[in-house]
Amino acid sequence: MTLVIVAASVLILGAILACLVPSNGHRAAISIVSQALATALVEWAVLPVLFGAAELRSSFVRPPPVDEVALRVDALSAFFLAFSLPMTLLGSIYALGYLEAYFKKARHVGFHFALLNLTSLAFILIYALRNGLVFFFGWELAAISAWLLVIWDYPNQRIRFAGFNYLVSTHFSFLFLLAGFLVIHARTRSWDFDSFAAFLHQPSLARSVTFVLLMTSFGLKSAFFPFFHTWLPRAHSAAPAHVSALMSGVIHKAGLYGMVRVMTLVGEPEEWMGWYVIAFSATSAVGGVLYTAAQRDLKRLLGYSSTENVGIAGMGFGIGCLGLTWHNPTLATLGFAGGILHVLNHATFKCLLFYGAGSIYRMTHTIDLERLGGLAKKMPLTALFFLVGGVAISALPPLNGFVSELCIYAGLLGASASGVARGLLVGTAAVLAFVGAVSALSMTRAFGLSFLGAPRDPTATAHGEAPRSMLFTMALHAAGVVVLGLVPATGLSLVREPSRFVLAGAAPSAVIEQALATPLEILAPVARVGAILVATLATLALLRALLVRASRVHVTWGCGYTRVSPRMQYSGSSFSAQFRAFFGAILPLLRREKLPIGPFPATGEIKTHCVDAVERRMFKVLGEGEATIRRLVERISDDARLSFAAGLAVLVVVMGVVVMGARP
């Protein structure tokens, strides 16, 4: 446990030094070295716990109201710590290449790297500490560091607005968290999570209310659709690529950690809790994936894809909850193992995809799919890594997305319920299949439009491959994706202990042992199929090499057109046109046009943009509401009689409430 505390101090020291040291290169170096050291220390302390050692315990006492601060790293916290810190480190290494241009200018990059250190520190606080107040502190630290990281490009007003939007939303999440914890604190008079557990084990109205409040808070943090995600696309589009990657891949997983932690504290959830989580996760998955199909901004697309994937992980947790309610350890294992593994898998391939998008932006200075094209020839390595990430996020075998989704499918399609419940679970499996197919559509579109074909805008060409630090980070993530996919046993061994922790006490240990072996039983044949697929592919490639001795090069067949231009290629909006039109109610299209008119027309243009329906409605309602109230208030201020009447009305209402409340 001391190692973790030392790691935290190293991070703080590194952050301070990174701000003070003179040269930009040294600042970045200090930050990365301190993060590397802290990561090594934490991994050393935490990996044994992840593989079965006893949990780390420590505590120190502070004066009231904080009281005792318990530090405890059990298997669940160990899992989250084990991937969060290394990924933040990789993000910082990526930032070296991404922010390279700023290093020579007068811009002080030390603050940015110091914030990355503080983010790692926030993870340690959130995942290792068991005190409610300190949890708030860690939550806030993560939120504020993320906000400051997002507005790296603050001279641009849109980016400032995106950051502000993010800040407000994350504080809404904090408000709900505060409300939930305060309700519990009022009942238990303590901030320690163990006393929370004692309260949450008893079914009561307060527990149900708290559950909903906390789920709302974590839903806001992790950006579940449909009401809690509106900040995500803007923030991801505005932030530098490594910040978007870290936000999507690591910081917002804290929300999912919160969900699982609450479920373990509740012990034996009621049935409605599991269905509630499945329902809003499924909505999130479908809503998120529909939006990915129609975006033209690559980072926005990836942001919506994060909404989709946390929905999938949430579905896993919901199934696990149902398993706990129905006393079915196999179902619970499949659900929680699938969900927790999906958290890791998503972190791996989402960071990879964002890093790829960052490479594109760095080399072409645009992220607009309608302008890109043909980058695979100039940036072959980035193309390869992005393809690996794209195939993984569409949950296609043999990569890692499929491994976690198969666990969730096994939970949904297995023989664990009867009647209407079984029908609903099969329906959810169909929803998951739809999500997978649409995700494949949007990833084909994203990869195909940016890397394949020819550049749709001649100015959007890359002049070379991305810098080495960026390629290095992407290579590591791609390797992780491939290994976790081809050898499912690696991923499953990582989630075995966290699943055991979540299931603890739900059944006799022999039954739990048997249940914990189920995911590996299901996935072992899949590993064989993956190997067979790779072998078949290799054989076919060999055959092709033998058959194809020479080949000719010619132009793409143009059906008789002699002046084929790259602008004639299918664009992003055309690719998803039919799909988007089918879901037009959820995917509104904003169209701005200036059509050429008359016999000698000037140039015309059409711009289409798929906007977020929920966000538009929300702004409309808020804006109109504010305008209405302001008009009303101004009228009242001018008219004395109206103000008297309004005041009297309010007075009557208030006195009525007081009188009714005072009655015994």
Residue list 617-636, contact with another protein (CB under 8 A):
619, 633, 636
Residues 6+ apart with CB under 8 A from 203: 270
Q: Confirm or reject binding of residue 205 to another protein (CB under 8 A).
A: no
- We find the least distance from the C-beta atom of residue 618 to another protein, in angstroms, to be 10
Q: Confirm or reject binding of residue 650 to another protein (CB under 8 A).
A: yes
Q: Confirm or reject binding of residue 489 to another protein (CB under 8 A).
A: no
* Residue closer to another protein (CB basis): 20 or 433: 433
- We find the least distance from the C-beta atom of residue 421 to another protein, in angstroms, to be 8
* Residue closer to another protein (CB basis): 263 or 431: 431
Contact yes or no for 109/99 (Cβ under 8 A): yes
Residue 1's SS3 state is coil
**Sole residue written with tokens 């760095």:** 362
Give the span between the Cα atoms of 359 and 552, in whole angstroms.
32
Binding mask 379-418 for another protein (x = CB under 8 A): -x--x---x---x--xxxx----x---x--xx--xxx-xx
Q: Which two tokens stand for residue 199?
A: 């309260």
Q: Confirm or reject binding of residue 608 to another protein (CB under 8 A).
A: no
Residue 559's SS3 state is coil
Contact yes or no for 382/285 (Cβ under 8 A): no
In 3D, which of 378, 312, 388, 316 has the Cα closest to residue 351?
Answer: 388
* Residue closer to another protein (CB basis): 16 or 36: 16
Q: Confirm or reject binding of residue 552 to another protein (CB under 8 A).
A: yes
- Applying CB under 8 A, among 550, 585, 595, 602 the residue interacting with another protein is 550
Q: Confirm or reject binding of residue 547 to another protein (CB under 8 A).
A: yes
Q: Confirm or reject binding of residue 606 to another protein (CB under 8 A).
A: no
Over 379-411, what HEC string results? CHHHHHHHHHHHHHHCCCCCCHHHHHHHHHHHH
The amino acid at 337: A
Q: Confirm or reject binding of residue 637 to another protein (CB under 8 A).
A: yes
**Sole residue written with tokens 């809503």:** 287
**Other Cβ atoms closer than 10 A to 537:** 11
Give the span between the Cα atoms of 658 and 554, in whole angstroms.
85
Considering only residues 507 through 546, tell me which ones interact with another protein, judged by CB under 8 A. Answer: 521-522, 525-526, 528-529, 532-533, 536-537, 540-541, 544
- We find the least distance from the C-beta atom of residue 175 to another protein, in angstroms, to be 14
CA distances from 350 to 305, 492, 544, 622 (A): 9, 19, 33, 33
CA distances from 78 to 49, 196, 501, 536, 623 (A): 6, 21, 11, 39, 44
* Strand-pair partners of 589: 610
* Residue closer to another protein (CB basis): 104 or 554: 554
Total number of residues that touch another protein (CB under 8 A): 115
Give the span between the Cα atoms of 69 and 168, in whole angstroms.
29
The span of 24-32, 84-92, 98-106, 554-562 binding another protein (CB under 8 A) equals 554-562
Q: Confirm or reject binding of residue 476 to another protein (CB under 8 A).
A: no
Contact yes or no for 332/515 (Cβ under 8 A): yes
The vertex-302 CA angle with 300 and 304, nearest 5°, equals: 70
Phi, psi of 607 (to 5 degrees): -125, 125
Considering only residues 46 through 85, tell me which ones interact with another protein, judged by CB under 8 A. Answer: 63-65
- We find the least distance from the C-beta atom of residue 557 to another protein, in angstroms, to be 6
The span of 33-41, 217-225, 309-317, 570-578 binding another protein (CB under 8 A) equals 570-578
In 3D, which of 522, 216, 162, 158 has the Cα closest to residue 341?
Answer: 522
* Residue closer to another protein (CB basis): 51 or 619: 619
Binding mask 348-377 for another protein (x = CB under 8 A): -------------------------xx-xx
* Residue closer to another protein (CB basis): 391 or 494: 391
* Residue closer to another protein (CB basis): 254 or 431: 431
* Residue closer to another protein (CB basis): 20 or 568: 568
Q: Confirm or reject binding of residue 25 to another protein (CB under 8 A).
A: no
The span of 78-86, 110-118, 242-250, 639-647 binding another protein (CB under 8 A) equals 639-647
Give the span between the Cα atoms of 547 and 543, in whole angstroms.
6
Considering only residues 287 through 306, tell me which ones interact with another protein, judged by CB under 8 A. Answer: none
- Applying CB under 8 A, among 372, 471, 569, 610 the residue interacting with another protein is 569
Give the span between the Cα atoms of 120 and 12, in whole angstroms.
10
The span of 131-139, 176-184, 349-357, 438-446 binding another protein (CB under 8 A) equals 438-446
Contact yes or no for 332/348 (Cβ under 8 A): no
* Residue closer to another protein (CB basis): 175 or 430: 430
* Residue closer to another protein (CB basis): 601 or 664: 664
- Applying CB under 8 A, among 20, 426, 621, 627 the residue interacting with another protein is 426
- We find the least distance from the C-beta atom of residue 575 to another protein, in angstroms, to be 4
- Applying CB under 8 A, among 443, 466, 487, 516 the residue interacting with another protein is 443
Q: Confirm or reject binding of residue 449 to another protein (CB under 8 A).
A: yes
Q: Return the DSSP state at 250.
A: I
- We find the least distance from the C-beta atom of residue 552 to another protein, in angstroms, to be 5
Give the span between the Cα atoms of 285 and 305, in whole angstroms.
8
The span of 37-45, 72-80, 341-349, 571-579 binding another protein (CB under 8 A) equals 571-579
Q: Return the DSSP state at 68.
A: E
**Sole residue written with tokens 């009297």:** 648
- Applying CB under 8 A, among 441, 475, 489, 586 the residue interacting with another protein is 441
Considering only residues 148 through 177, tell me which ones interact with another protein, judged by CB under 8 A. Answer: 157-158, 160-162, 164
- Applying CB under 8 A, among 482, 577, 589, 613 the residue interacting with another protein is 577
If residue 547 lies in a helix (H) or strand (E), which one and from where to where? Answer: helix 518-547
Considering only residues 107 through 146, tell me which ones interact with another protein, judged by CB under 8 A. Answer: none
Can the peptide bond before residue 48 be classed as cis, meaning omega within 30 degrees of 0?
Answer: no
Q: Confirm or reject binding of residue 611 to another protein (CB under 8 A).
A: yes
* Residue closer to another protein (CB basis): 268 or 521: 521
Give the span between the Cα atoms of 252 and 245, in whole angstroms.
10
Residues 6+ apart with CB under 8 A from 46: 4, 56, 73, 77, 78, 81, 82
* Strand-pair partners of 408: none
- Applying CB under 8 A, among 138, 436, 480, 491 the residue interacting with another protein is 436
The span of 81-89, 114-122, 312-320, 578-586 binding another protein (CB under 8 A) equals 578-586
Give the span between the Cα atoms of 612 and 616, in whole angstroms.
6
In 3D, which of 445, 247, 255, 252 has the Cα closest to residue 358?
Answer: 247
* Strand-pair partners of 131: 192
Q: Confirm or reject binding of residue 659 to another protein (CB under 8 A).
A: no
The span of 73-81, 267-275, 299-307, 428-436 binding another protein (CB under 8 A) equals 428-436
* Residue closer to another protein (CB basis): 211 or 575: 575
The amino acid at 17: L
